[in-house]
Amino acid sequence: MEHEEVHIREEKYLITEGNKKWAFGLMIIGLILAAIGYFTYHPHIEGLSEHDLHHLSLKRLLSNILVNGYFFFIISVCAAVFIAISQIANAGWYVAIRRIPEAMSEYTVPGGIIVIVLTLFGLSTLYHWAHEGIMTKGSANYDALLAGKSWYLNKPFYFIRMVLFIGFWIFCAFMIRKYSRNEDEVGGLVNFKKTYALSAAFVVIFAFTFSMYSWDQIMSIDAHWYSTIFSVYNFATGWVSALTIIYLFTWYLRGKGYLNIVTDEHQHDLGKFMFAFSVFWTYMWVAQFLLIWYANIPEEVAYYKERLFGSYQFYFYFVVLVNFCIPFFLFMSRDNKRNRKVGFFVGAAMLVGHWLDVYLMVIPGTMNLATDPTDAHPAGIIKVASQGFGLMEIGFVCLFAGLFIWVTLKALTKANLYPTKHPYIKESALHDVGI
Amino acid sequence: MESDKLLILGIYDNPDKTYTATKKLIAGGYEIFDVYSPFAIHGLDRVMGIKRTRLSIAAFVFAMTGLSLALIFMIYTSYFDWQINVGGKPSLHIPTYIPITFELGILFTAIGMVTCFFIVNRMFWGKNADIMDIRVTDDLFVVAVDVKKSKADIGMLNQMLIDNGAIEVRERIKEV
């Protein structure tokens, strides 16, 4: 509207010494802690040989890389999806903060490479179905159920899917960034229209590919078990975590004096998103849990039995408490969504909670040992109780968080902090959610 | 004419003019009865100094009522009053109650909020809406000024409305 002035400023983020210290400090400390954790981890479990236990520490190492690699990777992909969805919804409000998800989407490159390399080397260690002889008839550990899935769960097809999906997402995120940065130079509607077409294709293909990706990466850890809502549930995890990080970065940059056109109104809308998708995540979580719990079919319930009654019980309840109760009760009020301190608390809590949620999807399934099927272990899996929360877990979180922060901040320096020539930039600057 | 129910309506054909006129009238000490617009004008609510709605608080109360009533009902019927053995499952187990609790919470919130909204706005079935000017439902905007509360001189007010771009100025008696 003509009665208000908008000051569009061309500003670029400058990486401070503090940023460097934090990002690299986290990475180095993370690496050291993880190394100490790995070399000091000597599990003692009755009835297991030295060789098996050695195998267990390698599993713990790789599972931790999988938890963090997956968590931060889906966040960065969901950041690109956030731009794509806002673009095809013709949203105006998000334009002022658009460069933050764009910067986060740059992590898809290192994140995707980490995930692919991990599965390349760790597949047969982490995934029960990928063990030698599981699908060959006549071998000691032959599993007829898994052999029936071999048309989908086989190594070549698995890697083809992995590379295709991740490559496609990296490509889309790259093109979105490229169009957006090009727009800053040439202006006009050319790039807007191109992004529109790309986003429409990206969102549709993403929906299918992400479903399969989440089955491949996480659900196939427990290859006997399956849940039809699993991919939606995983998407909710990644999406709400991505929104939380966008929200936190926005506060951080505003606190540093950047983003002059971003106001509490944008912050409020992001907060609403976080609130809404926390409830959405809980809905998915309950939908998956309740049906399995109530139907009580042995092959399905096995997945929840070790989480709900086993050594992971505390984490199980903690995840629901943190991911649902904290955002639901603290972020319901309008003032809290606009409050920096409450925002940081809720955001941090939600990130911890969703990380732990991914941890809970991965660790109980991977921290097991393979054996030949006997009467004692009919599925050919020796269950290992929770190994607790050690230096390795903390170390890898620090390492990946440091990497994520560094890649994102580095990407923020590459373009203006908001797209100055975007057709909707003025609408975004005047964004108002009302009273 | 009952002068304490008298409104002066300035009719505008442009949202920006409506916005600036409202701003100037309030700056000039006039009491705005209401502004009518076919669509939302951003920022107008702040200029008019409208207080934040309490409907969200009401919604929370209704939701909590629904949740607790659902829980009390289900715990009473399926545990205290008459236990039924369904496949050996425990009678008192909270997860089983979640779907109905959730649904009743939503039902109470929805019905409660609509009822609340109707009561606060004094609306009921069969009541004719008090539309200031029928054209406000199409493409025009109306700024209604309360003459008595503003202690305004009608001549000056008319002039001010026209100076700010009103295409027409009318008088009207408010019903409420």
Task: Give the burial class of B126: count Cβ atoms within 10 A of its Cβ; 0-12 exposed, 13-18 middle, 19 or more buried.
Answer: exposed
Handedness of CA A173, A176, A182, A183 (dihedral sign): negative
What pLDDT does B133 receive? 85
The residue of chain B with its CA nearest to that of A329 is B60
Q: Does A5 touch chain B (CB under 8 A)?
A: no
pLDDT in tens, B43-93: 888 888 888 888 889 999 999 999 999 999 999 999 999 988 887 888 888
> Average pLDDT, stretch A303-324?
92
Contacts of B127 (CB under 8 A, 6+ apart): none
Facing residue for B98 by CB, picked from A4, A290, A435 = A290
What pLDDT does A384 receive? 83
Beta bridge pairs of residue B143: B10, B35
Using an 8 Å CB-CB cutoff, list chain B residues near A293: 95
- Asked if the Cβ–Cβ distance from A434 to B20 is below 8 Å, we say no
Q: To the nearest 10°, the Cα dihedral for A242, A248, A252, A253? A: 40
pLDDT in tens, A221-247: 998 898 999 999 999 999 999 999 999
What pLDDT does A357 receive? 96
Query: Can you tell me the distance from the alpha carbon of A209 to that of A160, in angstroms, rounded to the nearest whole number?
Result: 12
> Average pLDDT, stretch A264-276?
95
Distances (CA, A) of A267 to A259, A294, B133: 12, 40, 38
Contact between A83 and A102 (Cβ < 8 Å): yes
- Asked if the Cβ–Cβ distance from A289 to B95 is below 8 Å, we say yes
> Average pLDDT, stretch A177-205?
94
In Å, the largest CA–CA distance within chain A is 80
Query: Can you tell me the distance from the alpha carbon of A310 to that of A385, in angstroms, rounded to the nearest whole number?
Result: 8
pTM, full prediction: 0.91
Structure tokens at A138: 């006549």
Facing residue for A432 by CB, picked from B19, B43, B95 = B43
Using an 8 Å CB-CB cutoff, list chain B residues near A289: 95
Using an 8 Å CB-CB cutoff, list chain A residues near B40: 434
**How far is CA A278 from its chain centroid?**
14
What pLDDT does A4 receive? 64
Contact between A323 and A350 (Cβ < 8 Å): yes
With a cut of 50, say whether residue A1 has pLDDT above it.
no
Q: Where in chain B is the domain with CATH 3.30.70.120?
A: 3-38+139-173
- Asked if the Cβ–Cβ distance from B46 to A334 is below 8 Å, we say no
The percentage of chain B sitting over the pLDDT mark of 90, rounded to a whole number, equals: 35
Distances (CA, A) of A304 to A30, A84, A261, A309, A323: 31, 35, 47, 8, 18
Facing residue for B16 by CB, picked from A2, A332, A334 = A2
Task: Give the burial class of A343: count Cβ atoms within 10 A of its Cβ; 0-12 exposed, 13-18 middle, 19 or more buried.
Answer: buried
Count the residues in chain A. Answer: 435
With a cut of 80, say whether residue B40 has pLDDT above it.
yes
Q: Which fold has domain B3-38+139-173?
A: Alpha-Beta Plaits (3.30.70)
Residue-averaged pLDDT of chain A: 91
The percentage of chain A sitting over the pLDDT mark of 90, rounded to a whole number, equals: 73
Q: Residue A97: which of A302, A274, A260 has the closest Cα?
A: A260
What pLDDT does A2 receive? 47
Q: Does A6 touch chain B (CB under 8 A)?
A: no
Query: Can you tell me the distance from the alpha carbon of A186 to that of B61, in angstroms, rounded to the nearest whole number?
Result: 53
Interface of B with A (CB under 8 A): 15-16, 19-20, 40, 42-43, 45-46, 50-53, 56, 60, 87, 89, 95-96, 98-99
Instruction: Please report the number of interchain residue pairs, chain A to chain B, with beta-carbon separation below 8 angstroms.
Output: 37
Structure tokens at A125: 């260690």
Q: In this structure, what are the phi and psi dihedrals at residue A390, rounded to the nearest 5 degrees?
A: -110, -165
With a cut of 80, say whether residue A46 has pLDDT above it.
no
Q: Which residue has the higher pLDDT, A434 or A96?
A: A96
> Average pLDDT, stretch A103-115?
96
Query: Can you tell me the distance from the alpha carbon of A388 to that of A273, in angstroms, rounded to the nearest whole number?
Result: 33
In Å, the largest CA–CA distance within chain B is 83
Using an 8 Å CB-CB cutoff, list chain A residues near B53: 435
Query: Can you tell me the distance from the alpha carbon of A332 to that of B88, in angstroms, rounded to the nearest whole number?
Result: 39
Contact between A431 and A53 (Cβ < 8 Å): no
Q: Which band of pLDDT confidence, cut at 50, 70 and 90, is reported for residue B2?
A: low
What pLDDT does A269 receive? 95
- Asked if the Cβ–Cβ distance from A3 to B20 is below 8 Å, we say yes
What pLDDT does A18 receive? 92
- C-alpha radius of gyration, chain A, whole number: 23
pLDDT in tens, A359-400: 999 999 898 887 777 777 777 788 888 888 889 999 999 999
Q: In this structure, what are the phi and psi dihedrals at residue B169, rounded to the nearest 5 degrees?
A: -130, 130
Contacts of A15 (CB under 8 A, 6+ apart): A409, A410, A413
**DSSP states along B82-137:** ----STT--SS-HHHHHHHHHHHHHHHHHHHHHHHHHHHTT--TTPPP--S-GGGG
Contact between A233 and A284 (Cβ < 8 Å): yes
Query: Can you tell me the distance from the alpha carbon of A255 to that of A373, in angstroms, rounded to the nearest whole number?
Result: 59
Interhelix angle A340-366/A264-295, rounded to 10 degrees, is 30
